[in-house]
Amino acid sequence: MKRIFLALLLTIASLGVAQTPDANQEQMLLTLVKDVQAQQAQMSENQKKIETKLAEISETVRIARIYAGRSQ
């Protein structure tokens, strides 16, 4: 995420060098910002899925340990 933010800042900085950015550059910047926002939303969704699966696995392991302890 830091890399994406850094790339976005570098893009903004490079666009800021020109005194009068044209509409095409502004459109590119808006497109990049929207792409970054979409990627961040996807990363957030993926993180939630990962956390859910880890919780399920942890519960399965916990139950397996209980049953393994009873069988001895």
- Rounded to 10 degrees, what is the CA torsion of 46, 52, 55, 60? -110
Q: Residue 70 is encoded by which pair of tokens?
A: 């009873």
Residues in CB range of 54: below 8 A, 6 or more apart: none
Query: Which pLDDT tens digits describe the chain residue by residue (72 residues)?
Result: 677 777 777 777 766 655 556 888 889 999 999 999 999 999 999 999 999 999 999 999 999 999 998 887
* Domain total in the chain: 1
Looking at the whole model, is its pTM more than 0.85?
Answer: no
Rounded CA-CA distance 69/58 in Å is 16
pLDDT at 16: 61
Backbone Cα Rg of the chain: 23
| Domain with 42 in it | 2-71
pLDDT at 23: 81
